[in-house]
Amino acid sequence: MYTLHGMEGRARRGSFETVHGTVQMPAFMNVATAGAIKGGVSAQDLKELHCQVELCNTYHLHLRPGDDVVRAMGGLHKFIGWDGPILTDSGGFQVFSLAKLRKIEERGVSFQSHIDGKRIFMGPEESIRIQSNLGSTIAMAFDECIENPAEYDYTARSVDRTTRWLHRCKAELERLSALPDTLNPRQMLFGIGQGSTYEDLRIRHMQEIARLELDGYAIGGLAVGEPAEEMYRVIDAVEPHMPPDKPRYLMGVGTPVNILEAVHRGVDLFDCVMPSRNARHGTLFTWEGVRLLGNARYRTDPAPIDESCGCPVCRSYSRAYLRHLLKAKEILAYRLLVMHNLYFYNTLMERIRRELEQGTFGHFYKTMTPILDRRM
The smaller minimum CB distance to a second copy, of residues 14 and 75, is found at 75
Region at 190 (left for phi over 0; alpha for psi -120 to 50; beta for the rest): beta
Residues 308-347 binding a second copy (CB under 8 A) are 316-318, 320-321, 323-325, 327-328, 330-336
Show Cβ contacts of residue 16 under 8 Å, excluding neighbours closer than 6 positions: 1, 2, 3, 22, 23, 25, 216, 247, 268
DSSP state of 375: B
Catalytic site residue 271? yes
Q: Which of 4, 7, 73, 120 touches a second copy (CB under 8 A)? A: 73
Q: Could you tell me the smallest distance in angstroms from the CB atom of residue 77 to a second copy?
A: 12
Q: How many residues does the chain have?
A: 376
Residues 37-56 binding a second copy (CB under 8 A) are 37-42, 44
Pairwise CA distance, residues 120 & 105, whole Å: 14
* Residue 91 touches a second copy, criterion: CB under 8 A: no
What element of type H or E holds 286? strand 283-286
# chain residues binding a second copy, by CB under 8 A = 39
Pairwise CA distance, residues 327 & 333, whole Å: 9
Number of H helices, E strands in the chain: 14, 16
The smaller minimum CB distance to a second copy, of residues 12 and 77, is found at 77
Which residue in the list 67, 215, 271, 306 is annotated as catalytic?
Answer: 271
* Residue 75 touches a second copy, criterion: CB under 8 A: no
Which residue in the list 45, 67, 89, 143 is annotated as catalytic?
Answer: 89
Catalytic site residue 68? no
CA distances (Å), origin 61, targets 48, 58, 113: 25, 5, 12
The contact mask relative to a second copy for 292-311 (x = CB under 8 A, - = no) is: -------xx-x---------
Q: Residues with catalytic annotation? A: 89, 271
Q: Which chain residues interact with a second copy by CB under 8 A?
A: 34-42, 44, 60, 64-65, 69, 72-73, 79-81, 299-300, 302, 316-318, 320-321, 323-325, 327-328, 330-336
